[in-house]
Amino acid sequence: MLLTCPFCGLRDHAEYEYGGDAGARMMPADGAPAAGWIDHVYLRDNPRGAHAELWFHAAGCQQWLRVVRDTFDNRVLDSRPAAERLGDGNGISA
């Protein structure tokens, strides 16, 4: 699988570390019930198709990226610095 880094260009995925779901829920408030924490820490969607994810370019520029990847065929649909929000047009907002 290849990922395009907005700073370094097209690179093999082995240069990156997966950072998880970019659309992860907000952390529960202090004192929230255990069920809220279990949901936050362990439960994730497992979509088929476009999915917003965080990737860290560990062997490159060492920047966090926000990537939209098609989980069916691993095509990268969008890649940008993590500080930028994903825009319209890809069906993903995160």
Q: Residue 21: which H helix or E strand, with range?
A: strand 17-21
Nearer to Zn ion, 10 or 27 (CB): 10
- DSSP assignment of 56-93 equals E-TTTT--EEEEEEETTT--EEEEEETTSPP-TTSS--
| CA–CA distance, 34 with 24 (Å, rounded to integer) | 17
Nearer to Zn ion, 24 or 61 (CB): 61
CB of 55 to Zn ion, least distance (A): 10
Tell me if 5 contacts Zn ion by CB under 5 A. yes
Restricted to residues 40-69, the positions that interact with Zn ion (CB under 5 A) are 57, 60-61
CB of 76 to Zn ion, least distance (A): 13
Q: Tokens standing for 76?
A: 């990268």
Which residue ranges make up the site for Zn ion (CB under 5 A)? 5, 7-8, 57, 60-61
